[in-house]
Amino acid sequence: MKDLALVANHYTRGDLLGAILAGVEKLGKTPETVTMDDLASVDEFHIGGRIATRAFLDQMSIAAGERVLDVGCGIGGASRYAAHEYGCQITGVDLTNEYVEVGTVLCKWLGQQSQVNLVQGNVFDLSFSDASFDKSFMLHVGMNISDKAALAKEIWRVLKPGAVFGIYDIMQLDDGLLAFPVPWASVPEGSALASPEDYKCALVSAGFEIVAERNRKDFALEFFADMKAKSATAGGPPLLGLQVIMGADAPSKIQNMVANITQGSIAPVELIARKA
């Protein structure tokens, strides 16, 4: 992984829970009345938000009662959605303490403490026994993890035989120079982009077989165009939009990411792998 402090500091805001609570109050809601849909625009921190989460996770055939690991869970938006939608038991792990603390509070707001457990940890050294999980997924996480092979080996270790591992990451398609900051890194030193081929090589070497792959470039550009149009019509971003989690420089991060996708240097890509 890139320098742990560099990565954690990039994502740490310091007042994230307060900012989310302020947004909730602006919506006319309270922690007792806020819904999962109200929070979706802030806690689904990846391209496409809830729409992308649903399209991605639906491919994994997650069943009720299964134990599922969310790698790099952030504040737990995808974890809470998966638990609600599929009836599974979710464990989410993330490097950033603030994300885990805030996400745990949001689980309490939504009454999901019994289904969703978020913990702080390092994806290279997970505190779970071998073959503990039926499924695993990660959404926009690998861009901060340089050693994809070590990541794949550790996820392989904690999955049961035949289990599925889904990845939805921003991946590098050419060697073009990228504009920074972007949502996952303020400076190039914090970024660990890799190609789909690099991901697949790491997965296969760890013992996975690739069962599906999908480039989501067109979907991403349509999503950002729609987000820009809605923001212009509303006179600004949603009260609980991505600016709450990304901070004041959210517009420049998103603008640079869209430019990098448009020029063909990067794209969000889905990979579905199975532990052979």
pLDDT (tens, 9 = 90+) of the chain, 276 residues, equals: 667 788 888 999 899 999 999 999 999 999 999 999 999 999 999 999 999 999 999 999 999 999 999 999 999 999 999 999 999 999 999 999 999 999 999 999 999 999 999 999 999 999 999 999 999 999 999 999 999 999 999 999 999 999 999 999 999 999 988 999 999 999 999 999 999 999 999 999 999 999 999 999 999 999 999 999 998 998 888 888 888 999 889 999 999 999 999 999 999 999 999 998
Overall pTM > 0.85: yes
Q: How many domains does the chain have?
A: 1
Residue with the two structure tokens 């470039």: 217
Q: What is the CATH number of the domain that holds 212?
A: 3.40.50.150
Instruction: Provide the pLDDT for residue 6.
Output: 86
Helices (H) and strands (E) in the chain, counts: 11, 7
d(CA 176, CA 29): 45
Instruction: Provide the pLDDT for residue 1.
Output: 63
Going from the C-alpha of 71 to that of each of 27, 36, 40, 95, the distances in angstroms are 30, 20, 18, 10
Domain that holds residue 177: 4-275
Instruction: Provide the pLDDT for residue 2.
Output: 62
Going from the C-alpha of 171 to that of each of 51, 80, 244, 247, 264, the distances in angstroms are 19, 25, 25, 24, 11
Establish how many alpha carbons lie within 13 A of residue 74's alpha carbon, considering only the half-sphere containing its beta carbon: 26
CB-CB neighbours of 186 under 10 Å: 16
Helices marked H in the chain: 4-11, 16-26, 36-43, 49-57, 77-86, 97-109, 148-158, 196-206, 217-234, 242-246, 250-262
Q: Helices 4-11 and 97-109 meet at what angle, rounded to 10?
A: 40
